[in-house]
Amino acid sequence: MSLEQALTEVRSWIDQAARVVVLTGAGISTDSGIPDFRGPQGVWTRNPAAERLSTIDNYLTEPQVRRDAWQARLGHSAWRAQPNRAHEALVGLERRGKLHALITQNIDELHQIAGNSPELVIEVHGTMRRAMCWQCGERSPMLETLARVQAGEPDPGCRSCGGILKSDTIYFGQALDQEVLARALQAAGEADVLIAVGSTLQVYPIAEVVPIAHRSGGRVVIVNRESTALDDLADALLRGSISEILPVIC
């Protein structure tokens, strides 16, 4: 089947569906100027050592890792990024009343900035726009803490308890929020169509939404320019640019 035929078929599935569930990974935001991690130009593909900045044990025990992480946050491309046509297409899907849940591995909040309702967005890896204290759990806007870094504190501590501050995202070695995960897995089981967009589908347990939707009788659509770990489960594989494909199918 050609890509054109596959796009037409997926459009008709979405037209007929009452509940569309979308899982997004870093690939949806690359056209907004935020690099992914594992794609060909990914941050870790180009510099495997960068993974240490997001590994909880390194972060908690090595002050230099924290100082490097604060500098990386300060310069993060997400602060300048705007939603692209793919994010906008998912806002259109919500306006049509089709979007049952928007599960995202992303931490950039571009779905909410584009206009998707926060209640529909399930952020399984948290958000970089908030800081949290590892010790007392207090949350605060990330930009407030970044202002302290800019003012000369290389590794700012919690203002309430002095504990280590990090971004409110899930690092390697850190457990996912079980309630958030349960919401995501439940939504996947309720999907008439599940669209997995721009994720390598290697990171568990969240990649589990694909087999869950498949087992529950939902159609699985995978949108990616490369193959993914779960292509075998897809009813349609849409190989190409996410920001070109999503406006066509949504």
Residues contributing to the site for ligand NAD (CB under 6 A): 25-27, 29-31, 34, 36-39, 42, 105-108, 125, 198-200, 203, 224-226, 241-242
Cβ proximity to ligand NAD: between 102 and 158 the closer is 102
125 is catalytic: yes
Distances (CA, A) of 73 to 27, 104, 238: 19, 20, 33
Q: Which amino acid is at 222?
A: I
With beta carbons less than 8 A apart as the criterion, state whether 209 and 222 touch: no
For residue 127, the surrounding DSSP H or E stretch is strand 126-133
The two tokens of residue 12 are: 């008709």
DSSP 8-state secondary structure symbol assigned to residue 55: B
Q: For residues 200 and 73, give the distance between their C-alpha atoms in angstroms, rounded to a whole number.
A: 24
Q: For residues 215 and 49, give the distance between their C-alpha atoms in angstroms, rounded to a whole number.
A: 38
Tell me how far, at minimum, the Cβ of 59 lies from ligand NAD, in Å.
15
With beta carbons less than 8 A apart as the criterion, state whether 132 and 168 touch: yes
Tell me how far, at minimum, the Cβ of 126 lies from ligand NAD, in Å.
8
Neighbours of 234 (CB within 10 A): 20
Tell me how far, at minimum, the Cβ of 30 lies from ligand NAD, in Å.
4
Tell me how far, at minimum, the Cβ of 171 lies from ligand NAD, in Å.
10
Residues 6+ apart with CB under 8 A from 59: 53, 65, 66, 69, 164, 166, 171
Q: Pick the catalytic residue: 87, 100, 111, 125?
A: 125
Which phi and psi (to 5°) does residue 156 adopt? -65, 140
Please, what is the end-to-end C-alpha distance for the chain in angstroms?
20
Residues 6+ apart with CB under 8 A from 12: none
Q: Which residues are catalytic?
A: 125
